[in-house]
C-alpha cells in the first residue's frame, strides 16, 4: 500500500549515512486513473508500453499493490502523509471555489518534507489536488521546492488548459498547448538542474484521466487499428470524442514516451545507478471522456473500476527500477 511505500522510502533514506551520493535520487511517477490492466507488462494487448515494461523487466513488478483510495485527492493525501485513508486529512475530492481542493493542514508532515530534512531537492510536476493556491496545503508549503502543473484537479479535466501553476504563480496558456508536454519539459529540467543530487521528483501526471485528448500523431495509428469505434459524446472531452479508443491508446503511448525520456536523461547524466524510479496509479480505470475500459480490459482480471471499493478500484500497477540495487525480475 502507499502507506508502506511512504514508510519504506523515508526509513530507507533515514538509514543512509555518509556522502550525499549515498542517498539515491527518487522519481515517483503516478498515473491518473490507469487500471491494473492498462500496461502491456500487466497484460494489455491493444497497445504497448515498452518503456514502462523496461522498468518492470529491469526491476520489480508488484502484483498486489493497493492505492490509498478509489479516487484522486485522498490517494495523493495517503501517499504524501503516510497515513491510511481513515487518518489522512484529505478523504475525498472536496472542492474549493473558484480554484482548488480542500488543503492538507500546515501541520502535516509530508514525504517531501521528510526528504528535504535529509538534504533532498524536491519537485512536483503534474496534478496536485491537496490545497488551493496560496493555502497551507499548496505544494510549495508542503515541502516542495518547485511545483509546476495543475494545482486544481478540476482544471486537469482538460489537457488543453487556459492556465497552469508555477509554484503560486498562475501561468496563462493559449488553450492549444498539450499540458503533458509542458509538465514533462519542466520535470526533465528539474532532473538536469539537480543532477548532483539527491533529488525527489514527484510526477503525478494527468494521463489517462478524464478527457480523451492527445495530439493527432499519437492517435492516428490507432484509428486504423480500431475503425469500429466512431465519435462519441464524453464528459470532459467536449461535444464529441473522435474515436475514444484511438485517443486512449494514443494517450498511453505518449505517456510511455515520457517515461522513455526520463530513462534517457538518467543514462545521459550517468544517474542510472543512483536513481530509484517507481511508477504506479492513483486508483482503478475510469469511464469518463468516452473511455471504454471494458474494451481495453483496463482492470485486468479484477472486479470494479474507479470509485469502487473492489479490487479493480484500488489494486493498481507498481513497478520499481534501481540498477545494481533491485534485482531484475
Q: Count the helices and strands in the chain (H runs, E runs).
A: 9, 11
In a domain, 229, yes or no: no
Residue 302, domain CATH: 3.40.720.10
Q: How confident is the model at residue 123 (pLDDT cuts 50, 70, 90)?
A: very high
In a domain? residue 31: yes
Q: Does 168 reside within a domain?
A: yes
Domain enclosing residue 295, as ranges: 2-14+22-212+253-321
Q: What would the pLDDT profile of 44-79 be if each residue is shown by its tens digit? A: 999 999 999 999 999 999 999 999 999 999 999 999
Q: Is residue 237 part of a domain?
A: no
For the stretch 17-54, pLDDT in tens is 444 468 999 999 999 999 999 999 999 999 999 999 99
| Rounded Cα distance, 237 and 147, in Å | 26
**Burial class for 89, CB neighbours closer than 10 Å (0-12, 13-18, 19+):** middle
For the chain, give the percent of residues with pLDDT over 70: 91
With vertex at residue 80, the alpha carbon angle to CA 171 and CA 109, rounded to the nearest 5 degrees, is 105
The answer to whether 143 and 112 are in contact (CB under 8 A) is yes
The pTM is what? 0.94
For 163-187, the pLDDT digits (tens) are: 999 999 999 999 999 999 999 999 9
In a domain, 230, yes or no: no
Per-residue pLDDT band for 5 (boundaries 50, 70, 90) equals low
pLDDT score at 19: 41
pLDDT over 70 (residue 13) = no
pLDDT, residue 18, reads 43
- Reported confidence tier of residue 230, pLDDT bands at 50, 70, 90: confident
| Residue 329 belongs to a domain | no
- The band of 265, judged by pLDDT with boundaries at 50, 70 and 90, is very high
What total number of domains does the chain contain? 1
Indicate the range of 98-102, 169-173, 296-300 predicted with least confidence. 98-102
Q: Tell me whether residue 224 is in a domain.
A: no
Q: Which of 185, 186, 183 is nearest to 205 (CA)?
A: 183
Amino acid at each position: 500500500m502507499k502507506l508502506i511505500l511512504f514508510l519504506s522510502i523515508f526509513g530507507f533514506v533515514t538509514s543512509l549515512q555518509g556522502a550525499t551520493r549515498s542517498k539515491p535520487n527518487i522519481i515517483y511517477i503516478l498515473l491518473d486513473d490507469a487500471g491494473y490492466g492498462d500496461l502491456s507488462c500487466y497484460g494489455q494487448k491493444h497497445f504497448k508500453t515498452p518503456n514502462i515494461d523496461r522498468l518492470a523487466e529491469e526491476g520489480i513488478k508488484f502484483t498486489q499493490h493497493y492505492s490509498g483510495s478509489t479516487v484522486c485527492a485522498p490517494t495523493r493525501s495517503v501517499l504524501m502523509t503516510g497515513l491510511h485513508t481513515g487518518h489522512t486529512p484529505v478523504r475525498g475530492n472536496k472542492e474549493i471555489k473558484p480554484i482548488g481542493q480542500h488543503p492538507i493542514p500546515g501541520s502535516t508532515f509530508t514525504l517531501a518534507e521528510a526528504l528535504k530534512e535529509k538534504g533532498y531537492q524536491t519537485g512536483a510536476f503534474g496534478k496536485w489536488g491537496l490545497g488551493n493556491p496560496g493555502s497551507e496545503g499548496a505544494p510549495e508549503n508542503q515541502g516542495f521546492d518547485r511545483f509546476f502543473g495543475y494545482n486544481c484537479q478540476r482544471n486537469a479535466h482538460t489537457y488543453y488548459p487556459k492556465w497552469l501553476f508555477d509554484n503560486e504563480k498562475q501561468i496563462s496558456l493559449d488553450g492549444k498547448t498539450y499540458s503533458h508536454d509542458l509538465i514533462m519539459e519542466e520535470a526533465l529540467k528539474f532532473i538536469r538542474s539537480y543532477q548532483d543530487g539527491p533529488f525527489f521528483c514527484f510526477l503525478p501526471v494527468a494521463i489517462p484521466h478524464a478527457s480523451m485528448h492527445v495530439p493527432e500523431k499519437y492517435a492516428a495509428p490507432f484509428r486504423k487499428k480500431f475503425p469500429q469505434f466512431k465519435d462519441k459524446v464524453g464528459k470532459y472531452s467536449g461535444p464529441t470524442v473522435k474515436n475514444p479508443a484511438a485517443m486512449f491508446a494514443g494517450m498511453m503511448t505518449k505517456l510511455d514516451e515520457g517515461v522513455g525520456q526520463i530513462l534517457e536523461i538518467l543514462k545521459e547524466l550517468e544517474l542510472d545507478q543512483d536513481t530509484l524510479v517507481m511508477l504506479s496509479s492513483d486508483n482503478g480505470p475510469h469511464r469518463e471522456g468516452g473511455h471504454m475500459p471494458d474494451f481495453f480490459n483496463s482492470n485486468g482480471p479484477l472486479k470494479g473500476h474507479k470509485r469502487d471499493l473492489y479490487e479493480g478500484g484500488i489494486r493498481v500497477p507498481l513497478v520499481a527500477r534501481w540498477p545494481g540495487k533491485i534485482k531484475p525480475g
